Amino acid sequence: DNGAGQAAKICNNMLLGATMAATCETFALAKKLGLNLQTFYDISSKASGQSWSMTSYCPVPGVGPASPADKGYAGGFAAALMLKDMRLALEAAKASGAAVPMGERAEAIYAAFVDADAQGLDFSAIITALE
């Protein structure tokens, strides 16, 4: 139907934003628990916690395939753009009556990050605010 592509994009980007936030939180926790982050990546990238945010776009420099994390979080998909997409998803959720508590929390994380003047950085750079 007309508009289905836009709806799918909004849903996909909300999923991406939420999984990246969770991936960043997890790596920050693993670091605080003293885990070797490469070893943690090697295990979790093949376990039940595996996600695209981890295996294709890991937010930890030097871990996993090359990503904006390896370039000081330059380039990639700007956090400000992810925030825009998260807000579009929340508007769509409100209009349709859908409950999206994880999406709401992820939007708040990106909003705080962008408001702290990090809008030019890649969206995976939220890990720096969690460390």
Q: Give me the active site residues, please.
A: 9
Q: How far apart are CA 88 and CA 90, in angstroms?
A: 5
Contact 117, 79 (CB under 8 A): no
Contact 126, 24 (CB under 8 A): yes
In this structure, what are the phi and psi dihedrals at residue 122, rounded to the nearest 5 degrees?
Answer: -60, 150
